[in-house]
A and B are shown apart, each in its own frame.
Chain A
């Protein structure tokens, strides 16, 4: 009889990590060695037992979405932090520039339409419907995205303070307030445009968002934990963040449908 094989060889075989030659030699030995067969039986039993231990707790199909909700504030905060030093060819910056350009274009278009309506009974040259809708969708979609990021950042600010680091310290939210102020002006314009085009769902969300933005903009620029908690409750109370997210997604879908070639720009 050949010398007994090493235990490593048996383990490797049972775990499928042994070579064909090793398996063949082991089989030859096991055929004539009862003690090795018993030893291999034990190792197999160990591995089978390991397989029988309680499986990990099940996580439903929504688990991934839950994980995202928990990490989203930090991911978005990092994404925002990245935007500042990003070089000109990076998409985030390009999107930002286009957003402003589109928003400015829309303001001009709307003002032109408004003035035209006041001074001339007959509009000079109507903007084609599909093009106007596309411009509006792009602008509103980007606006909602910015608003969502600002609100998430503010909620996250509240988390950090509630975590104990700022129990007595004040938190400076002036940066977010400036964003809120800027968003209020745009929001009003988009809300009116949405209402004018009978898009009541979007108009309602923008209306709700506007109230929250105005409230944030008018609070003190430095707030304590209690004040932050109130702001968080304000954001949470009407589910505005969720609604902004939902309507934002819907608008993006409509935007894609209205302009299939947009992704190639």
Chain B
């Protein structure tokens, strides 16, 4: 969920007037939530750190354009999401894979999952989920993360990514659909029904 401080506006006003200590307060206040968002989208700790720093630098450079009627936290989220999406796109252009499964997850893979019903709770399923997440396009991933993990509204996500509401919904839907398909083997044969009905 987005954590926005109600008393940002005064501090933002001081920062806009050139008070670097005020900007410092904003950095200290919002860094952690931005790191969470960036990590969820990039899937990589170092990338997330870069995104957080880049977000604040961009925010500082464009602070004069910040419209105070929008929440400062939301505005930062927007910048961070775009930074993360840009980073993933750059990766794709270079032919690199998106942040894959965390090493700890791979290291802890069990040899077998004895009960099918327990698959969704096992490390193998988590590995599949991480791999499936890596297959999403940057926009799909960002939209899904902002909705599912951060609880942003469709409108907020749309504003952050520069998408209309329908396009935002479609990005989220495609993300869930890709995840479901990637995980279908773990769920068994019932996965065919949703594919059939997805065509209107």
Contact = CB atoms under 8 A, between A and B. Distances in A.
B90 interface: no
Contacts of B183: 46, 49
A65 interface: yes
Given A47-B148, A63-B32, A52 B126 contact: yes
B88 interface: no
Interface of A is mostly: helix
Interface stretch (A69-77, A107-115, A224-232): A69-77
Contacts of B104: 54
B52 A75 contact: no
27 contacts: A6-B197, A6-B199, A7-B173, A7-B177, A7-B194, A7-B197, A8-B198, A15-B176, A38-B190, A38-B193, A42-B190, A47-B176, A52-B120, A52-B121, A54-B104, A56-B36, A63-B31, A64-B27, A67-B52, A71-B27, A75-B23, A75-B60, A79-B18, A86-B18, A90-B18, A91-B17, A91-B18
Contacts, number: 141
A174 to B, nearest CB: 25
B20 interface: yes
Given A11-B173, A49-B126, A64 B147 contact: no
A56 B39 contact: yes
Interface of B: 17-20, 23-24, 27-32, 35-36, 39-40, 45, 48, 52-53, 56-57, 60-61, 102, 104-105, 120-121, 125-126, 129-130, 133, 144, 147-149, 154, 169-170, 172-173, 176-177, 179-180, 183, 187, 190-191, 193-200
A244 B158 CA distance: 45
Interface residues of A, number: 51
A129 interface: no
Interface of A: 4-8, 10-12, 14-15, 17, 35-36, 38-39, 41-43, 45-54, 56-57, 59, 63-68, 70-72, 74-76, 78-79, 82-83, 86, 90-92
